[in-house]
Chains A and B, each alone.
Chain A
């Protein structure tokens, strides 16, 4: 630890950190463009100049480490003047695209100009022209005129994605960010360069021109794309999701997420979302209301001769939250005294995976559902009544179903081939409409929260089971919140000991 003085404030900070981080610890902020805490120091934007006592010239804070007794100023007149001049140079060639630029509203050039410069341009010469709308790869578009050449993206590709696809070519006023001619920016993490671009040079093809950022509301959640459980923010407006962006969790995803994960919101907005319960009336697939469907489910179940707990099974889903799965478990246990708990998960023969974030297990909650004592579908037992969470093809239960008479109740999100066959289909929520928790690959329990109002009559599985058990007249716990479900999980499962819904916080807690 070393003692330093930042703007007159004495503070003890860890040895070896740079002045930007030190100022942050002192509660201050040094504006910067090229510096990023997860990337190597480039020191090229010159925005973070500070005055250090006994050093004649201003120094870049990003590339200066703290020394014991160091006294520096981040906001005195000399520093302010230098910052204005640096900004003036950066803005010399910057186009006035703001009205049509996606970055507007979250642009560091706009922000720092308002905070630190706020002068009229003195530049009367013509601006240098460079390529616009450059197709860098499947997900990223470059506007070279907006680029301030901070090289964050170049360093990201080199140091984090390890693909080294980007470079700055030529020099001086001809400097251009580019991939090697003929090659695309197509690493599995490419959209992160859009997030770390401090200006509007790199934009996401998926998000471009879709919505001004100041309209977006932000909900903290977890990416359901794989077992990593990257912490994300769902950016939404008008009950539609516009993008998923990573949220910092040093223990899970640092501040990155993969491109595949960014697409996980698309099924949420699909046209074929289930909106109302479905059943069969005289052989015809028919819509029912939530209240109409209850007696029909009860009739169908009592129509099976000799039905008891042994012939009823719950099939949970590694895609669903702990709360949804637990509610299913509890419902079967109390209503039918059934302890038959199986689960299904998304599997592909050649799942993408790497040593960084992307896991081969494409389910957000495999650890969670196993902790709730569900076992993977693989049994010789035969069942007659099925409660299934999530869309599942009929083949998946062929081996475990009695052929004669069976009843299948499925809680599905989408109206597709896998939800056309069950006797009853109840519309349920996706991750973006649910409250609850997932347990990731590190056994970290993390909260998701709803960004959208779910379509039609769809609702969380735990709500449905709570209602259904009331209908069956059993003394089931009736849940009014996911938090209450979680509390029951904690009480019943040793591995959750000591956790509360609140204590999970924004970044989750690891189960022993």
Chain B
């Protein structure tokens, strides 16, 4: 299957490409656009990116697999990423992790059957002053408590 970028994404990619000395240099931002557009970086998505950047599949694959921020497997509509690093843990992050696992009935790396939530434990979200922190898709949620987590999850349709 050949994946095609939407018109909107294409315009964005063109804007990005203008900022770089060569096309290959734009691998990271274009991979993010692909992830937003296609949900995760499937082989087809990586190949589409390689074609746009006029670079090899191997190069894109190497970059995409290096960064954990790119999802190489499908994720749910909401990708809940809870920080597992030190600062958040000191502020009660471990409790929040357990609470999320229980509430969503998921282990890390799993997706709910309805495809709504994926739960991941991630490294530092650079929000150490406001821990515990989590990121759902591209939004940050800070100073989490179980009540706040309930409220956030209930608000997600």
Contact = CB atoms under 8 A, between A and B. Distances in A.
B140 interface: no
A228 B66 CA distance: 41
A183 B57 CA distance: 9
B58 interface: yes
Most buried by A among B59, B61, B62, B65: B62
A438 B66 CA distance: 49
A183 B62 CA distance: 14
B77 interface: no
B56 A170 contact: no
A179 B56 CA distance: 11
| Chain B contact surface mostly | helix
B23 interface: no
A180 B61 CA distance: 7
Interface in B64-95: 65-66
What interface size band does chain B fall in? 10 to 19
Interface in A153-183: 157-158, 163-171, 178-183
Contacts of B57: 180, 183
B59 A169 contact: no
A152 to B, nearest CB: 15
What interface size band does chain A fall in? 10 to 19
Interface in A168-206: 168-171, 178-183
A289 B59 CA distance: 62
A180 B66 contact: no
Contact of B66 (A165, A170, A178, A183): A170
B58 A183 contact: yes
Contacts of A181: 43, 61
A198 B57 CA distance: 26
Contacts of A164: 55-56, 58-59
A167 B65 CA distance: 10
B58 A180 contact: yes
Nearest to B55: A164
Nearest to B58: A167
Interface in B36-68: 43, 55-59, 61-62, 65-66
Contacts of B43: 181-182
Interface of A: 157-158, 163-171, 178-183
Interface of B: 43, 55-59, 61-62, 65-66
Which 9 A-B residue pairings sit nearest by Cβ, starting from the closest? A167-B62, A164-B56, A180-B57, A167-B58, A169-B65, A180-B58, A170-B65, A171-B66, A180-B61
Given A157-B58, A170-B65, A182-B43, 12 more contacts: A164-B59, A165-B56, A167-B56, A167-B62, A168-B62, A169-B65, A171-B65, A178-B58, A178-B61, A180-B56, A180-B57, A180-B58
